Chain A
Amino acid sequence: MKLIIAIIQPHRLDAVREALTGIGIQGMTVGEVRGYGRQRGHTEIYRGAEYTIAFLPKLRLEIAVPDSRADDVIDVITRSTRTGKIGDGKIFMLDLEQSLRVRTGETGDEAL
């Protein structure tokens, strides 16, 4: 199993969800997070004073999938979030040791 973590622009969430549903991915967890990468934040102006916003709002998606689906998921997320502009985000893939569905006690791929 793999755990895919994607940091995306908040306004791309619906596109990602629709695309993942389209390839049969059943669930994900989303969190509102803040961060910066190479874009290093931006500036905002209030009453003529410039404020540096170092941490920009992003969404962090977590999707656990069987090994066989991991590449598809990464491909779909990439296609539905890429605008070509700085700040599009990043995708990480981790090996996932175990999973367990709390209600039934199922484990492994069955629990995904």
Chain B
Amino acid sequence: MIDTGNTAWMISATALVLLMTLPALGLFYGGLVQAKNILSVLVQCFAVACVASLLWFVAGYSLAFSGNGPWIGDTGALLLRHISRAAVHPGLAIPESVFVMFQMTFAVITPALIVGAYVERIRFGAVLLISGLWLLLVYVPVAHWVWGGGWLAARGTIDFAGGIVVHVTAGVSALVVASLLGPRHEFPHGIRPPHAPWMVMVGASLLWVGWFGFNAGSALAAGGDAGMAMLVTHLSAASATVAWMAIEWIRFGKPSLVGAVTGTIAGLAAITPAAGVVGPLAAVILGAIAGGVCFTAVLLVKRVIQVDDALDVLGVHGVGGALGTLLLPFLAAVGAGGVVSPHGVAGQFTAQLIGVVSVALWSAAATFVITKLAAVTVGLRIDHDGETIGLDFAAHGETGYHVMR
């Protein structure tokens, strides 16, 4: 039986989640690169969104959400042949078409997050090949494990809106791709600063708004869970932003815009897995921790591991998502509005840890194979001249900014 209120909310939420990729993530990433690469980032996000959508239609949805096997779904919904206008998603009061579409927008943004690892030097063909294979070999099985009735769901791992499925998969894979691809040739000391910090802020703001669809939509109904998810999502974002600004102010003497909005995204990634089980006070605490931990993680990747994960996908998304996943058993009982796990704190933490570690290992291994495959087929890197000229012209034949009339 379809509930019109739930359906109306889920259609709205779906639109909000697509907004996170188009244009929000594009602007967030695009402002961080050099002016000569702005269009390449936008077209990468745009193209990944379309390729992921088509693959979701062909096989992704079926393998993630049709069937209850421990490892992978079945072929019952290939090409969405199972769908009809009257179909209701099992166990929910919304049309199957809306559930397919809502989940599609998650499948769209997750490979697009990895764009931040390889900007300014990758071949466009490699972007498409890696994203397509990655969707089917990493995102789809992990979505099944956690949300499609797979082995992590059976193990009791809680991932409300994608701390594991979206942010850990993308963050870990980003590090693997960046490492195999190699750094931009000026890395680490000659890298140019972000060309448009204001654009980063616009992108982050749209991500913030879209995240209400992402997290509150993950309640899959218009009710108290959705309302609380929205509230805690907002508070975590605000708290992480203030934390990141405070750290920069103390360490560098000045709080920056790029830092502030990076903190926002860290807070949003951290609350994502926990938005169904924590209350407002816990969200503020989680956000503050996320601001500090992600700030440190970003520095560690750049200075210690020295991998050119150019736009800090691991440090912000991967670490933020993992952090919220691991802390949620402890935070559920903090303040009002939480949902305490029946498995107890220790039992739930074990389930969370198994989820994060197994998904991180699978993401790393599968992404390694996918990237190697792309290296020997389409090739990973644009040539040195192309990188110097910029991907906008070298790979797409366009220029972002024509300053002379």
A interface list, Cβ under 8 A from B: 44-49, 51-53
Contacts and interface: CB of A to CB of B under 8 A. Distances in A.
Contacts of A49: 188, 191, 302
Contacts of B262: 47
A10 B370 CA distance: 50
B259 A47 contact: yes
B318 to A, nearest CB: 15
Nearest to A51: B193
Contact of A46 (B189, B251, B256): B256
Interface of B: 32, 188-189, 191-194, 197, 248, 251-252, 254, 256, 258-259, 262, 295, 298-299, 302, 312
Contacts of B194: 46
A48 B251 CA distance: 9
5 contacts: A46-B259, A47-B262, A47-B298, A48-B251, A48-B298
Nearest to A49: B302
A99 B192 CA distance: 41
A47 B254 CA distance: 12
Contacts of A48: 248, 251, 259, 295, 298-299, 302
Nearest to A48: B299
B193 A44 contact: yes
Contacts of A46: 32, 193-194, 197, 256, 258-259
A46 B254 CA distance: 11
B193 A47 contact: no
B247 to A, nearest CB: 9
A52 B254 CA distance: 17
A47 B312 CA distance: 9
A102 B193 CA distance: 43
Nearest to B299: A48
What is the interface of chain A mostly: helix, strand, loop, or mixed? strand
Contacts, number: 32
A78 B56 CA distance: 66
Q: Which 10 pairs of residues, A with B, have the shortest CB-CB distance?
A: A51-B193, A48-B299, A46-B258, A45-B252, A47-B298, A46-B193, A44-B193, A46-B194, A49-B302, A47-B262
A49 to B, nearest CB: 6
A108 B188 CA distance: 54
Contacts of A52: 189
A47 B265 CA distance: 13
B191 A45 contact: no
Residue of B32, B193, B248 with highest tally of chain A CB at under 10 A = B193
B384 to A, nearest CB: 21
Residue of A49, A51, A52 with highest tally of chain B CB at under 10 A = A49
A53 B295 CA distance: 23
Nearest to A45: B252
A46 B32 CA distance: 9
Contacts of B299: 48
Contacts of B258: 46-47
Contacts of B248: 45, 48
Given A46-B258, A46-B259, A51 B252 contact: no
Contacts of A45: 248, 252, 254, 256
Given A46-B259, A48-B295, A51-B191, 4 more contacts: A45-B254, A45-B256, A46-B194, A48-B248
A52 B193 CA distance: 8
B399 to A, nearest CB: 19
A32 to B, nearest CB: 10
B246 to A, nearest CB: 14
A48 to B, nearest CB: 5
A51 B192 contact: yes
A51 B254 CA distance: 15
B39 to A, nearest CB: 21
A46 B302 CA distance: 12
A47 B192 CA distance: 13
Contacts of B259: 46-48
A41 to B, nearest CB: 12
Nearest to B254: A45
Contacts of B32: 46
A53 B193 contact: yes
A112 to B, nearest CB: 27
A45 B248 CA distance: 9
Contacts of B251: 48
Nearest to A46: B258
Contacts of A44: 193
A51 B258 CA distance: 14
B314 to A, nearest CB: 13
A42 to B, nearest CB: 11
A44 to B, nearest CB: 6
Contacts of B191: 49, 51
Nearest to B188: A49
